[in-house]
Amino acid sequence: MKTILAAYSGTLKGTGSGILSALQDLSVAFWPCRSKMEKHLQLLSVLQWVITFLVLGAACTVLLIYMFCTDCWLISAIYTAWLIVDWNTPKQGKTSKMSIWETLSKLIGQGAVLIKTHDLLPSRNYIFGYHPHGIFCFGAFCNFGTEATGFSKKFPGIKPSLATLAGNFRLPVLRDYLMSGGICPVNRNSIDYLLSCSGTGNAVVIVVGGAAESLQCVPGKNSVTLKNRKGFVRLALQKGSDLVPVYSFGENDSYKQVIFEEGTLWRCIQKKLQKILGFAPCLFHGCGLFFGNSWGIAPYCKPITTIG
């Protein structure tokens, strides 16, 4: 208000200061600049990815069951029928990336960098062994599930398919969300299809350590789970595919996790649930939405450098 009054009085006095310039100054004061808007959009994009993995599958399952008991039962019935018909599609590795990911990937992957160390021939198929798992595999998703770091330009002719827990594809809506990003289940059928029945130039990205590796996720520490996890090597030999080691530095810095000592009750509970559910229930936290020193589910703003 003071700005407007000052401009108005300036106009009356003939100083040349106009109402228009005053309104522009006022809009700058109340409306965030472009850089701040981009940061807000980046945060929202990352949060939708995090919240989706945390609650979307369970929430949509409950909602689908609830809708069967309401007047909207027909919607649930149609979706369930389609779900039954389309049930085996993810197992066959048949996914397609929607254009919306082109926008979201640029926002989600702002802090991700992909460094190429060797050219890959489009006439071959590949298995990428990715480490570490981290909490949400941000590096794997940004680099191989999206075009945030320009994978197709750095590796022309190679089509990456990020493989994730097969149980995620049993949950309604979440399975469609993942398939829209070109993500496939990490099972024998889908990998066989991609490496044997889909021509050449395919790269299946497997997070080798899986849920067990996420339990060792600590900022500043690199711990790899590889013992008794050599099935991907045998698969590469059977399919005649090349192995490509991939490592993301900074993946473990996105969140802070409470690590329970081996042999403790809580550690035993984590491992037991991991065997039952297929994923490890980690006790972690990031930063808050409005204050960087507060706790929240937003990841810490740390760069992730992936080398492959």
Is residue 75's pLDDT more than 50?
yes
Q: pLDDT band at 90, cuts 50/70/90?
A: confident
User: pLDDT at position 155, please?
Assistant: 92
User: pLDDT at position 124, please?
Assistant: 92
Q: pLDDT band at 292, cuts 50/70/90?
A: low
Neighbours of 146 (CB within 10 A): 24
User: pLDDT at position 4, please?
Assistant: 32
User: pLDDT at position 14, please?
Assistant: 45
> Please, what is the average pLDDT of the chain?
77
Q: What stretches of the chain adopt beta strand conformation (E)? A: 112-115, 126-131, 159-164, 184-185, 202-207, 242-249, 256-257, 284-287, 295-296, 304-307
Query: From CA 116, how far away is CA 250, in angstroms rounded?
Result: 17
3-state secondary structure of 114: strand
Between 247 and 29, whose confidence is greater?
247
Is residue 284's pLDDT more than 90?
no
pTM of the model: 0.77
User: pLDDT at position 20, please?
Assistant: 44
Asked whether residue 19 is domain-assigned, the answer is no
Asked whether residue 238 is domain-assigned, the answer is yes
Q: pLDDT band at 10, cuts 50/70/90?
A: very low
Query: From CA 124, how far away is CA 34, in angstroms rounded?
Result: 43
Between 263 and 116, whose confidence is greater?
116
Mean pLDDT across the stretch 182-208? 85
* Main-chain dihedrals φ then ψ at residue 18, nearest 5 degrees: -105, 160
User: pLDDT at position 94, please?
Assistant: 58
User: pLDDT at position 214, please?
Assistant: 83
* Nearby residues of 266 by Cβ (< 8 Å), 6 or more positions away: 260
Is residue 104's pLDDT more than 60?
no
Domain ranges, residue 284? 36-307
Rg of the Cα atoms in the chain: 24
User: pLDDT at position 25, please?
Assistant: 47
Is residue 175's pLDDT more than 90?
no
Beta bridge partners of 162: 205
User: pLDDT at position 287, please?
Assistant: 79
Buried b (16+ CB within 10 A) or exposed e, 89-117: ebbbbebebeeebeebbbbbbbbbbbeee
User: pLDDT at position 179, please?
Assistant: 82
Query: From CA 263, how far away is CA 268, in angstroms rounded?
Result: 7
90, two tokens: 């993810």
Is residue 300's pLDDT more than 50?
yes
User: pLDDT at position 12, please?
Assistant: 40
- Region of 172 on the Ramachandran plot (φ > 0 left; ψ -120 to 50 alpha; else beta): beta
Enclosing H/E stretch for 211:
helix 210-214
Between 38 and 256, whose confidence is greater?
256
**DSSP-derived secondary structure for 134-175:** TTT-HHHIIIIISSTT-HHHHSTT-EEEEEE-GGGGGSTTHH
Residue 174 identity (one-letter amino acid): L
The number of domains in the chain is 1
Is residue 30's pLDDT more than 90?
no
Buried b (16+ CB within 10 A) or exposed e, 176-198: bbbbebbbbbbeeebbbbbbeeb
